Chain A
């Protein structure tokens, strides 16, 4: 949803440059939608035109720049490491936004925005919340929903893409995994619940969403399991052969690097499915004669209860809830394949003394940090080629004596000569302190986004 907001913002800029800046915020976005409406087989485009006209008379909104990230702020990947504040100033400078490219700055700005939206659902005044409200109210426009609910065949990919380009959703639609009939409906209800969470304050929009809810229940509540299967199979045909990788899916290990979704062989079963493993034999009278078990290879648990199909209720199913509201652990930035990512993700948020030591070593190498005489044995860190310390000791014990190797001493400690060399290199890193402050901050930010 926020990506749609960014795109809407960038589209304003192009509209503003080429035409008179009369159209407001979503109006600009909707105008683009209209230009390709001939691809749509039915008429939702016309309805959005009417909504767009309503917005066009509003005052144009400029994106706020007061909360641009400070240049002294650290890079996103290094922000959450505890103890980072105590690191040497020079290191901080290197890792800060001063030397980073625009992409890093934008990453931080994006994160701030998302945090704002997710943490302050009641804040309807800010721009971000207003964007959300506008998008949701456009999407749930009554007439549009009525058109949508008419039975029709599958749109072509192009037509659907046009619709979704402007009405993007923040929660996921993992149709592969939704299994038993009504699960698909529960996922949709989860989506609607999340949307309702976003727009708690605006009663009109809430009413629209509730109406949609009623319509959903009416239309789909009466369908049988077989019909749901058919709907699901038809929708899967739509997604067939698309191997688009979504970053949040990759992060959550829901998708592999090849684009295929991960199907776990454990976890809760849909309501009505028994845990596999039982073979029951009956005789001709219908009495159970034998009960046998077999190994089925997965580890499943039965569903605790059935999800609720009411307007408000416990859906039980986790699928369809907001993925962005979950806190993610810090990951060390890797440019390699996802296997590397899995191996080196820092799971614990507890202070990691190793990280601190590494940074201290870095500072020492660059020079400038005085070594405080350690009171006890040097904490430092040493290179361990084995997975645990015990293995290393064992390996040391079992190493035959004749294979003595030469110890190469890496002179990594303070060396006067290297120190001077490094200091000179550091000097070359000095930034010429002339921030490029152009006349309008807006252009700056938008220019940044265009470079993405």
Chain B
């Protein structure tokens, strides 16, 4: 169902981190931005739909106190209502740039004050919720920054204390309009998931224990939490109550990346990438999962995977020590892909993706779709 497309070459290979691929889709400009961590530097590149690389840029982690060059833990684009920021977390601090990586807008140094000598100090886990950006820390705390619509006047608004072990990933979802809807999930090394409601003051809604197995990757979509664990399992929970819906023994090694675009994409170090179809059953109201496709990337420890377009018909994969981004796209036309989807006028295979209906009026939330102009590199 998916076939391999042309790979995008990288200047440096990808590091063996979790969630080591960030994708910013710009359908208006027909561009896709990719971000991959190399080690002490992060690579950003923009590509046309066919995978032709257009521009590249490398960002270095800012030096601080310490002997060796700092390592970057994650790079992620945060889509806010009025701007897009690129956030880099490293072993020294948090760096925020304009979306093309040209100007550093904010720098927050990590305070290693209460870390014992054996603990590593780093920031990891980045997500945007409304006009806030949440970044996780090694101590388990989550820093919440308030981002203005313009300019570098970013303020640390809150520090959430929900975790005792280092944070691994944060996922958010645009609030559905009601008051008590959960829209932020944080995960940590002990597998604990904390579900919050964002606002001027964040409120902890529920906790989902993990029993010691780390949760390197978590996603949130329509009130469903998808969490991938270090023992290869993917679990789907109800965000508001924390009840377990589905447990999938998906992989033979630790999961390293998840994406949700209404299909679930899971990638792990066992060289496999799986795509699952989620749907809500009409009776009972529980979630049904069906396995759509499995892709084996031979001899590659996959470290990042994301969908490249809102409908989930193409995805990109990075692997440890691999100096390219692998791309896969669906060979079925969108009509065939699943029922109930609006008909696109053109067949996807012919690659005429000029649809201005990228922001269609369906109830599905559009993920990471940027509606404002972003300066081209």
With the chains together, A261 CA to B244 CA distance in Å?
37
Chain B proximity of A276: nearest CB distance (Å): 5
Q: Are A272 and B71 in contact (CB under 8 A)?
A: no
- Residues in chain A near residue B71, CB distance under 8 A: 234, 237
Is A351 an interface residue, CB under 8 A from the partner?
no
Of A294-302, A398-406, A409-417, the segment with at least 4 beta carbons within 8 Å of chain B is: A294-302
Q: Are B232 and A224 in contact (CB under 8 A)?
A: no
Is A233 an interface residue, CB under 8 A from the partner?
yes
Q: Are A281 and B216 in contact (CB under 8 A)?
A: no
Between A and B, 30 residue pairs with Cβ closer than 8 Å are A41-B67, A151-B117, A154-B68, A179-B269, A180-B231, A180-B253, A224-B212, A224-B214, A225-B212, A225-B214, A226-B166, A226-B189, A227-B189, A237-B16, A237-B71, A240-B13, A260-B299, A261-B299, A263-B300, A265-B271, A274-B231, A274-B232, A276-B232, A277-B249, A280-B247, A283-B286, A284-B285, A286-B243, A296-B251, A300-B252
- Residues in chain A near residue B13, CB distance under 8 A: 240-241
Is B213 an interface residue, CB under 8 A from the partner?
yes
With the chains together, A240 CA to B244 CA distance in Å?
38
Q: Are A226 and B168 in contact (CB under 8 A)?
A: yes
The total of chain B residues at the interface (CB under 8 A) is 62
Q: Are A265 and B15 in contact (CB under 8 A)?
A: no
Q: Are A224 and B270 in contact (CB under 8 A)?
A: no
Within the complex, which residue of B245, B249, B285, B299 is in contact with A262, where a contact is CB–CB below 8 Å? B299
Given A179-B269, A229-B216, A295-B291, list of 13 further CB < 8 A pairs?
A: A226-B188, A240-B13, A241-B321, A262-B299, A263-B271, A265-B296, A274-B232, A274-B233, A279-B249, A279-B291, A295-B294, A298-B272, A300-B252
Within the complex, which residue of A156, A179, A262, A296 is in contact with B274, where a contact is CB–CB below 8 Å? A296
* Bitwise interface map of B from 277 to 310 toward A, beta carbon under 8 Å scored 1, else 0: 0000000111111110010101111000000000
With the chains together, A282 CA to B288 CA distance in Å?
10
Nearest 3 pairs between A and B by C-beta?
A: A226-B189, A294-B291, A236-B16
Chain B proximity of A93: nearest CB distance (Å): 45
Q: Are B253 and A240 in contact (CB under 8 A)?
A: no
- Residues in chain B near residue A234, CB distance under 8 A: 71
**Interface magnitude class on chain A:** 35 or more
Is A355 an interface residue, CB under 8 A from the partner?
no
Q: A240-B321, A241-B13, A279-B246 are in contact. Are A273 and B232 (CB under 8 A)?
A: yes
- Chief secondary structure at chain B's binding surface: loop
Is A256 an interface residue, CB under 8 A from the partner?
yes
Chain A proximity of B219: nearest CB distance (Å): 17
Q: A260-B321, A274-B232 are in contact. Are A281 and B246 (CB under 8 A)?
A: yes
Q: Are A156 and B233 in contact (CB under 8 A)?
A: no
With the chains together, A180 CA to B15 CA distance in Å?
18
Q: A226-B214, A274-B233, A284-B286 are in contact. Are A153 and B16 (CB under 8 A)?
A: no
Query: Which A residues contact B (CB, under 8 angstroms)?
Result: 41, 151, 153-154, 156, 176, 179-181, 224-227, 229-230, 232-234, 236-237, 239-241, 256, 260-263, 265, 269-270, 272-284, 286, 289, 292, 294-298, 300
Q: Are B66 and A153 in contact (CB under 8 A)?
A: yes
Chain A proximity of B369: nearest CB distance (Å): 30
Q: Are A240 and B231 in contact (CB under 8 A)?
A: no
Is B103 an interface residue, CB under 8 A from the partner?
no
Q: A224-B189, A230-B120 are in contact. Are A282 and B269 (CB under 8 A)?
A: no
- Residues in chain A near residue B168, CB distance under 8 A: 226
Q: A225-B189, A226-B214, A298-B252 are in contact. Are A240 and B270 (CB under 8 A)?
A: no
Q: Are A276 and B249 in contact (CB under 8 A)?
A: yes
Q: Are B320 and A236 in contact (CB under 8 A)?
A: yes
With the chains together, A134 CA to B23 CA distance in Å?
54
Whose C-beta in chain A lies nearest to the C-beta of B17?
A233
- Residues in chain B near residue A279, CB distance under 8 A: 246-249, 289, 291
Q: A225-B214, A225-B230, A276-B232 are in contact. Are A179 and B253 (CB under 8 A)?
A: yes
Whose C-beta in chain A lies nearest to the C-beta of B234?
A279
- Residues in chain A near residue B212, CB distance under 8 A: 224-225
Chain B proximity of A176: nearest CB distance (Å): 6
